[in-house]
Amino acid sequence: MKTSNWKMMMAAAVVALGLASEARADSTSLLTMGLGSSVGLAHVVPITGGSVNDVVSELNVRIKMLKVLGFDFNYNFAGENEVGHGEIYASSLRASALLYVVPTRIVSVYLAAGTGSSEFTDMFKASATKRSYHGGGGMELYVGRHLALSTEFLMLVPQVDRVVVSSQPLKVDAAGSLDLSSVKTPSVTDYISADNFQVTFGLKWFF
């Protein structure tokens, strides 16, 4: 009996939430801007082996247009770390284009892709080094007219600006010759991998 009452109460809460006009965080507006912050974790497996975990603490500005389009700009207060042969997977500055595939006034799901850099002027410069790329998606849950809870998952890809002959240190045999058996040339999948990701949780206030 208690289980049945509990289910009925949960169903009523969901219906009430769905009918509440305030639960939209301006998702029905043709143009809106949100400010927020998020925290999370960046996990990277460098081509040199091992794994690196970094804390993510971001300030976020999000612009939503025509209900399905968006632009995101993030600044990571925790900074960025070089791994492997100097690659950067999670840049301190990050810009993303968003496509809302499920835009509702209660919850929205979006796809995201973009680029990152340590300097704003280098973010969209093709010749710039120390850039990164990312792609993934996220979700916003609207708990009021302006407030949204958010979560996001991104796969991280570094810009490789040098030729890496071997991901591991080269060895010399007893005769003093280079041991070619120690050569391990990295492939594209060593850099583009689901093992390199960032997951964050945050709050946003939409105007």
Per-residue pLDDT reduced to its tens digit, 179-200: 555 556 666 677 888 899 999 9
Residue 85 to residue 93: CA distance in whole angstroms: 21
Reported as a pLDDT band with limits 50, 70 and 90, residue 94 is very high
Burial (CB count <10 Å: 0-12, 13-18, 19+), residue 68? middle
Reported as a pLDDT band with limits 50, 70 and 90, residue 15 is very low
Over residues 87-106, the mean pLDDT reads 92
pLDDT at site 172: 56
Judge whether 10 lies within some domain: no
Judge whether 25 lies within some domain: yes
The reported pTM is 0.76
Number of domains in the chain: 1
Judge whether 37 lies within some domain: yes
Please give the residue range of the domain that contains residue 186: 21-161+173-206
Residue 190 to residue 205: CA distance in whole angstroms: 38
Judge whether 5 lies within some domain: no
pLDDT at site 20: 46
Judge whether 65 lies within some domain: yes
Over residues 122-136, the mean pLDDT reads 79
Judge whether 4 lies within some domain: no
Tokens representing 195 are: 């093992």
With beta carbons less than 8 A apart as the criterion, state whether 14 and 128 touch: no
Residue 110 to residue 101: CA distance in whole angstroms: 5
pLDDT at site 145: 84
Judge whether 94 lies within some domain: yes
pLDDT at site 7: 54
Across 8-12, 69-73, 150-154, 157-161, least confident range: 8-12
Q: Find the CATH number of the domain harbouring 115.
A: 2.40.160.20
